[in-house]
Structure 1
Amino acid sequence: MAKGVGRMKSPKPIPSTINNIAVVIPAHNEDGCIELTVKHLHLELTANKVPHEIVVVDDGSTDNTWQILINLTKEIPTLKPVKNLGPHGFGRAVICGLQNFDADAVTIMMADNSDDANDVVRYWQKLNEGYDCVFGSRFMKGGGVIDYPIHKLIMNRMANLFVRIMFNISYNDTTNAFKAYRKTVIEGCAPFISPHFNLTVEIPLKAMVRGFSWTVIPITWKNRRTGISKLKIQEMGSRYLFICLYIWLEKTLTRDYRVKPDEPRVTAAQPPEVIERAKVETAESVTAESVKTEPTTKEVTTNSVKSEEQSKS
């Protein structure tokens, strides 16, 4: 296939703003870093005047993670600790957080302070340009990684190349969890079926396939300084493959019903005044077309006189 032919692209964003943003952070035995992560995030968002809430989901921790979160609520009023009382797993913990946030948009962030809190501010700014989703890329100009284990880096690049080819997209960091979505995207893509790290692929691919607008910005990532990574690469191959095939089937079977990138859209994600304005503009265009196509009274009268004269002659 020629480069760019049939490539899946984002629809045009519809200008609309959001009032606040939530940050969902799944945590399992993260007592060595969760306090620093939450404090740094709160400080960055407050300094940039971003209205926010921080939803940390304790996913069955056996260390002091929960107690640390409870103590932090006295210092950080926007912190909302939640316990995942159901089955555990990264995906299940994130889904629990997505069911418990109360904001216009949400970012999914790691508990180990590997994601840059300033990038959340930049996500917020892009969402306020009207995009439904903002994706970060560590592998584009301006992005970067620090201390990324070489074997994980190789596997990451291979997995993302597979996704790019399968879905014919230019985005090159789909497997990274650190992304931002309007609440309408989360509602429009639910229910989610990935219990583990494959949720990081399910949400963005569903959003793209279902016609939500998206953009990509460069982000940075650094390896954790404390604790143990919960991602087990050897266990994830089949799970990533399953969810990719699942969404690829949806993309293939519904391609004729999706909004094209260059088509105007009116969605429930827009404020009422935007929807009403679009309706008015549509009505005005229809009226204008009617005026062009319908004959005027003068034209009708003239045509009638001509017909009578022809019949007399």
Structure 2
Amino acid sequence: MKLSVVIPAYNEEESITPTLQTLYQTLAKHGIPHEICVTNDNSKDNTLGVLQKLSEEIPTLVYFTNPGPNGFGYAVRYGLERFSGDCVAVFMADMSDDPEDLVKYYNKMMETGVDAVFGSRWSKGGKVIDYPPLKKFINRIANAIVRMVMGIKYNDTTNAFKLYKRATIEGVKPFLSPHFNLTIELPLKAMVRGYTYAVVPNSWTNRKYGESKLKIKEMGSRYFFILMYCLIEKYFSRGDFRKKEATKPAATVSR
């Protein structure tokens, strides 16, 4: 099963090289057939030039430039419309996600056949390194609200680092979120629409270069909008968008 890794990148010229080199080396070491799809989100620095250079040393790297509209969600969506694999992971350009965790996700999907694999930084075996205290406080409150409103046990919905089968991505379309609220739209829609998932502990490390693109003050209402949308779909869509179960072939009748 071919793995695609979609990476949104905006002004990541300092981070993108170690991220892509480590990711490629890890996936190659484990023998995972893959492609690395980077969406340059109309960066104002030299991210595009770095990607051009890296493509000469990383044979599985493909990259696009999203001319606009721009934003985290738009950049991820741009990649999700263009990947070629059988499954696809969303991975951060700042090396906050661990490529070895992606291998665990992939193996979990291969072993169990689930439609998606979600990471949890807050369950047993997960960890965070240099996580800003205020961001952590807001994160835990936000995830508690999502759990309570949606009636789910999963405790890290806002974690962008997840793996989906191609059919799952097709099944949660159309995408609505242009910004970071896409991180909760994808898993909540997958849950509401009946796709199966497994949870794997993962780690998170704060970026070493550049600055975070997440602006908490700007995102509250956008997260709330997507949460309410998914809640309404869960209780009022009457299953119109649920995963269509494959029908068993009719038995052959001998005459």
Per the shorter chain, which TM-score range? over 0.9
Instruction: Tell me the amino acid that sits aligned with residue 151 of structure 1.
Output: L
Q: Distance in 1 between matches of 2:199 and 2:177?
A: 23
Residue aligning to 2:216: 233
Tell me the amino acid that sits aligned with residue 253 of structure 1.
Answer: F
Residues 111-190 of structure 1 correspond to what in structure 2 (within 5 A)? 111-128=93-110, 129-190=112-173
How big is the alpha-carbon RMSD for the aligned residues of Structure 1 and Structure 2?
Answer: 1.7
1:228 is paired with a residue of what secondary structure?
coil
Query: Alpha-carbon deviation of 1:255?
Result: 5.0
Match of 2:119, SS state, is strand
Who is 1:196 aligned against?
Answer: 179
Aligned match of 1:68: 50
Indicate the SS of the match to 1:82: strand
Please give the alpha-carbon distance, in whole angstroms, between the structure 2 residues aligned to 1:218 and 1:100: 28
Return 5+ residue gaps in structure 1 as ranges.
1-18, 268-274, 288-313
Q: Could you list the per-position Cα deviations for residues 28-66 of structure 1 after superposition, in whole angstroms to 9, with x for gaps in the alignment?
A: 000111000000000000000000000000001111110
1:50 aligns with 2:32: yes
- On the 8 A contact 2:193/2:239 being kept in 1, the answer is no
Q: Give the letter for the 1:68 counterpart.
A: V
The structure where helix makes up a greater share of residues is 1
Runs of 4 or more consecutive aligned structure 1 residues displaced over 2 Å after TM superposition: 254-260
CA shift, 1:257, in A, is 6.3
Structure 1 residue matching 2:249: 3-state secondary structure: helix
Q: 1:50 & 1:257 partners in 2: Cα distance?
A: 36
- SS of 1:106's equivalent? strand
Query: Normalized against structure 2, the TM-score is what?
Result: 0.95
Q: How far apart, CA to CA, are the structure 1 residues paired with 2:132 and 2:169?
A: 31
1:121 match: secondary structure: helix
Determine if the alignment matches structure 1 residue 82 to structure 2 residue 102.
no
SS of the residue 2:36 aligns to: strand
State the Cα distance separating 1:258 from its structure 2 match: 8.0
Query: Aligned match of 1:279 in 246, 249, 253?
Result: 249
Q: Equivalents in 2 of 1:201, 1:94: separation in Å?
A: 13
Give the distance between the partners of 1:211 and 1:255, measured in 2 at CA.
12
The answer to whether the 8 Å contact 2:192/2:242 transfers is no
**DSSP 3-state at the match of 1:231:** coil
Letter matched to residue 6 of structure 2: V
Unpaired segments of 5 or more residues in structure 2?
Answer: none
| Matches of 1:224 and 1:72, distance apart in 2 | 20
Taking structure 1 as the reference length, what is the TM-score of the superposition? 0.78
CA distance in 2, matches of 1:266, 1:27: 36
Give how far 1:174 is off: 0.1
Tell me how far apart the structure 2 counterparts of residues 66 and 203 of structure 1 sit (CA, whole Å): 27
Tell me, yes or no, if the aligned pair for 2:5 and 2:35 is still in contact at 8 Å. yes
Could you tell me how far apart the structure 1 residues matched to 2:60 and 2:200 are? 26
Q: Pick closer, same or farther for the CA change 1:73–1:212 going to 2, 3 Å.
A: same
- Measure the CA separation in 2 of the matches of 1:258 and 1:45: 34
Evaluate the alpha carbon distance shift between residue 77 and residue 256 of structure 1 in structure 2; reply closer, same or farther with a 3 A threshold: closer
Cα deviation digits, residues 222-276 of structure 1 (max 9, x gap):
100110000001111000000110111000113566879xxxx843xxxxxxx7x
- CA deviations 1:146-187 (Å, max 9, x no partner) are 000000000000000000001100000000100000000111
Deviations 1:200-229 (A, max 9, x none): 000000000001110101000010011000
**CA separation of 1:209/1:62 partners in 2, compared to 1, >3 Å: closer, same or farther?**
same
**Quick one: percent identity of the two aligned structures?**
52
Q: Distance in 2 between matches of 1:101 and 1:162?
A: 33
Match runs of 1:90-101 below 5 Å: 90-101=72-83
The equivalent of 1:300 in structure 2 is: none
Asked if 1:41 is matched to 2:23, the reply is yes
Amino acid aligned to 1:279: P
